[in-house]
Amino acid sequence: MRSSSRTALCTLAIVATATLLALCFNQWRPTPLAWVRTEAFVPAPAPAPAQPSPQAPSTAAPETPTSPAAEAPTPAPAEDQTPPHAEPAPAMQSPAPMMENAPQTEPAEAQTTPEAPVSDASQQPQEAAQAAPPETPVAQETASAQAEEPAAALSVADALQLHLSGQAVFLDARDPDTYAQGHIPGALCVPPTELDRLWPQIAPHIEGKTVVTYCDGELCPLSEELAEALRARGVSTVLVFVNGWSLWQDEHLPTTTGLNP
């Protein structure tokens, strides 16, 4: 046998052995991971912000879940990566199958904001869910869980509204270098790891205001971490602008460069 083909064969054998070991180990685990992932990673935040954009953006994020619960007609695939201006119903449906399919893997991600910052945020959608009975019992179960999430997730329109109103302070959770290269005007650079150090400086800024945290990428954990840390410090109204920097740039909204003002 040629040695090059022998090397290739051995390489394949190593990979096959690793796969076999992984297969056995995964079966042995109490909660095996599905080998082929059928549901998307992003829980509610990605599709959720799509909802308010066709409507008047003046209403805050908490409003968003009402219509899906009321309408909820068409089932959407779990991996539905809805474009920002898609039909509202599929956009909001997508979290539901996700929640039922992956209860043990992703809820930690999905419900990192169990305590909705705005008090009426979770009540409103729940009322709506009860008023308009969902089509399946599963949908009913997930409706309440689903309702909590978008409460903390912002659409671009909402974020812009908050930004223009001056009621909100934007906190950029990315690292200072990236922040310096470009950020939402007026945003303060607060990486989650630096919060303790920066707290005395930012505390006066955010007092009595809504705090909006953002970073970049739908799966970026930094804004969520920062929001959690802020809530732990007793900041009541913290909203997460998921994928904020990309969405902000996509809309060609003004940006600034440089370090903290």
Partner 1 sequence: MSALSAYRYLRYFLAVVLIAAVPHKLLDPAGFALAIARYDLVPTAAVNAIALVLPWLEALLAILLVCDVLIGPALWLANLLFAGFATSIAIAMARGIDIDCGCFTTGTTGSMLFALVRDVIFLVAGIILALIYARVIAPSRAVTPAETSEESDPGESKPEDAPATAQDPEAPSAS
Least distance (Å) between residue 77 CB and partner 1: 12
Contact between 220 and partner 1 per CB under 8 A: yes
Q: How many residues bind partner 1 (CB under 8 A)?
A: 48
Contact between 11 and partner 1 per CB under 8 A: yes
Contact between 33 and partner 1 per CB under 8 A: yes
- Which residue pairs, CB below 8 angstroms and at least 24 apart, start in 231-234? 231/115, 231/117, 233/195, 233/199
User: Which residues ranging from 105 to 144 are in contact with partner 1 (CB under 8 A)?
Assistant: 105-106, 109
User: Phi/psi at 148 (nearest 5 deg)?
Assistant: -70, -30
Specify the residue, 48 or 226, whose C-beta has the smaller distance to partner 1. Answer: 226
Determine the interface stretch with partner 1 among 15-23, 83-91, 120-128, 149-157 (rule: CB under 8 A): 15-23
Specify the residue, 75 or 217, whose C-beta has the smaller distance to partner 1. Answer: 217
Least distance (Å) between residue 53 CB and partner 1: 23
User: Which residues ranging from 148 to 177 are in contact with partner 1 (CB under 8 A)?
Assistant: 174-175
Distance CA 120, CA 128 (A): 12
User: Which residues ranging from 62 to 91 are in contact with partner 1 (CB under 8 A)?
Assistant: 79
User: Which residues ranging from 199 to 218 are in contact with partner 1 (CB under 8 A)?
Assistant: 215-217
Specify the residue, 47 or 52, whose C-beta has the smaller distance to partner 1. Answer: 47
Least distance (Å) between residue 37 CB and partner 1: 5
Specify the residue, 26 or 256, whose C-beta has the smaller distance to partner 1. Answer: 26
Buried b (16+ CB within 10 A) or exposed e, 222-256: bbbbbbbbbbeeebebbbbbbbbbbbbeeeeeeee
Least distance (Å) between residue 103 CB and partner 1: 12
Distance CA 34, CA 32 (A): 6
Least distance (Å) between residue 204 CB and partner 1: 26
The length of the chain, given as a count of residues: 261
Contact between 232 and partner 1 per CB under 8 A: no
Residue where the block lists tokens 């992984």: 22
Contact between 256 and partner 1 per CB under 8 A: no
- The residues that touch partner 1, with contacts defined as CB under 8 A, are 1-4, 6-8, 10-11, 13-15, 17-19, 21-23, 25-26, 29, 33-38, 40-41, 79, 104-106, 109, 174-175, 178, 191-193, 215-217, 219-222, 225
